[in-house]
Structure formats: structure tokens, C-alpha cells
Amino acid sequence: MFSIGEFAALGRVSVRMLRHYDAIGLLRPAEIDPASGYRHYQADQLRRLNRIIALKDLGLTLEKVADILDDKVGVAELHGMLRLRRAQLEAQLSADAARLTRVEARLSMIEEEGHMNTEDVVLKQVAPARVAELSAPAASYEGEDIGPVIGPLYEEIWRRMEVAGVRPSGAPIAYYVAAPGPTGDGQAVMVHAAVEVARDTSADWDFDVLDLPGIESAATIVHRGPMDEADRSMQILARWIDDNGYKPVGYAREVCLQFDRQNPANWVHEFQLGVSRT
């Protein structure tokens, strides 16, 4: 079972969105704690969430989405609807390209439901790391909110490290921690752009230097390709965690193993998520 914040992160949506879907009966939590009122979700509910997001990106109202889901729309029919929307999006301005990518990613996950291979998930120990980092808030876990924040942060941390004469000693490590939003609903995310540096780095520069704790038990998966396709890898992690009786602890880390400025298709990241037995 996952808390609403954990489920939002795994599904790459905002907590506010999940609460709204609950309020209108579109996606109810699997359980609600009678004492605290906390919502809890299961990995299987990512299937319904995938369909909701895909249909919403088609331009359908949430009322229409509910009608379609209640009629148990098939993958073939949904596939056809998404292909039609893709033709429409291709005729629009380049600003709509991000939406097209999200539609394709959700479609891919829907088509592979029940066939996700969790054999690529590795349970391992992650060593502590000293990092130089900059951080900034994003409105939610959604890619359209994270993307415009993480890119400039890394450009700036590289620039400041070069000015300070600090060389990286390892891979960049991005991580995201829930932060209070302007309305206090907890959907905001603090985005951390970190780079591993030497253990003796401790001078006072215009960026933070801190020690990331090790992870005794981390569920990990290697993601190849652009980060706007990361949803599939995250949901494979969610399936493995649920199937093997674990629960996530701490925050997820994205370790950049290979970066190609010209072609994101060549990117390689390892996603690391601390877990413990439920």
C-alpha cells in the first residue's frame, strides 16, 4: 500500500489531483484510515490512473472519462482514440509537443499492463555520498512542473562548481522531497539537483554541500531514454515493491549514468527508492 504522496510520485501526478479524483468518485483510495483520514492506494490502481490521464489528455471532461471507464473501455478502443488525438496534436503548434509525449507514454504503459517485467529491478545497498547541490520548489511531481526547474538548476550548479574549482567525483543525483505548498496542501515538491563531490569538500561556497545518507535496502531500476518516459520504469518499481511485500521509505533518487545533450534517447539513469518490509 502507498500513501497519497507516494502514489502521486509513482504515478507522476499531483496530490491535489488525486484528492479531486477521490472527491468526484473517479479514483477512490483502496483504504482510508478511519482514525487519521489518510488515504492509501495499491499498485493495481495505477491502471485506472493511466486511463484517466490518457483520456483527460484527449480533451475529454472528467465526467466523460468516468462514463468511459465505467463502461470498461478496451485497450483497442482506447488505442484508437489516442491515435486520433495524436493526429490532431501533430497539426498544432510545437508548444503541444509535451502533451503528445505524455499521451504516448501513457498509451505504452496501458498496452503493457499485465506484462511489465519486474526482473530488471535490483534490490541493493546504496553507499552514502557527499554532494554539491542547488534546490528550488516545483508545483507538483508532474513532469511539466519538474522539467522547467531541474534543467536550470543543473546548469547553474555546474557553473558555480566550475567557478569554485570543484570537480565532480561521481554522477549527478537528482531527488525530490515533498514540501509545503502555498495553500498548505502538501503537493509542492522541493527539487534537488546534486552532484557527487570529494569527501573532503567542505568550503563555504554559493551552493550547498551535504552528505546524502546511504540506503540500506533500495529497489533500483535502470531507465534508458528521456525522462518524459520515466513513468514506465517508476511503475515497474511500484509493481515490484507491491509484489514483494515492501513499502517505500525516504525519497526517490535519480542517478545520471549517461547524459547526451543532443539526444535524450541516449540518456541512462538509475532510479533508487529505499524500501522496507511491510
pLDDT tens digits for 48-106? 999 899 888 888 889 888 888 877 667 777 777 777 777 776 776 655 666 676 677 66
Residue scoring higher pLDDT (30 or 72): 30
Mean pLDDT of the chain: 86
Query: Grid coordinates representing 82?
Result: 489516442
- Provide the pLDDT for residue 235: 87
Angle CA 130–131–134, to nearest 5 = 155
Top-tier CATH class for 122-277: alpha beta
- Provide the pLDDT for residue 104: 74
Spatial distance between the Cα atoms of 186 and 183, rounded to a whole number of angstroms: 8
- Provide the pLDDT for residue 245: 93
Q: How many CB atoms lie within 10 A of CB 177?
A: 12
- Provide the pLDDT for residue 206: 92
Q: Is the pLDDT of residue 155 over 60?
A: yes
Where in the chain is CATH 3.20.80.10?
A: 122-277
- Provide the pLDDT for residue 109: 64
The answer to whether residues 185 and 16 touch, using CB atoms and an 8 Å cutoff, is yes
**Dihedrals phi, psi of 72, to nearest 5 degrees:** 55, 60
The answer to whether residues 50 and 110 touch, using CB atoms and an 8 Å cutoff, is yes
- Provide the pLDDT for residue 185: 56
- Sign, Cα dihedral of 244, 246, 247, 253: negative
Where in the chain is CATH 1.10.1660.10?
A: 2-117
Using only C-alpha atoms, what is the Rg of the chain? 19
Q: Which CATH number fits domain 2-117: 3.40.50.460, 1.10.3720.10, 3.30.565.10, 1.10.1660.10?
A: 1.10.1660.10
Residue scoring higher pLDDT (189 or 108): 189
- Provide the pLDDT for residue 106: 67
- Provide the pLDDT for residue 105: 65
Spatial distance between the Cα atoms of 129 and 210, rounded to a whole number of angstroms: 8
Residue scoring higher pLDDT (197 or 90): 197
Band (194; pLDDT cuts 50, 70, 90) = very high
The answer to whether residues 73 and 50 touch, using CB atoms and an 8 Å cutoff, is no
- Provide the pLDDT for residue 254: 95
Band (186; pLDDT cuts 50, 70, 90) = low
Q: For the segment 95-151, what is each residue's pLDDT rounded down to a tens digit?
A: 566 667 667 766 776 776 666 677 789 999 999 999 999 999 999 888 778 889 999
- What is the 8-class DSSP label of residue 43? T
- Provide the pLDDT for residue 179: 79
Task: Please name which of 17, 42, 32, 80 lies closest in space to residue 235, comparing C-alpha atoms.
Answer: 42
Q: Is the pLDDT of residue 184 over 80?
A: no
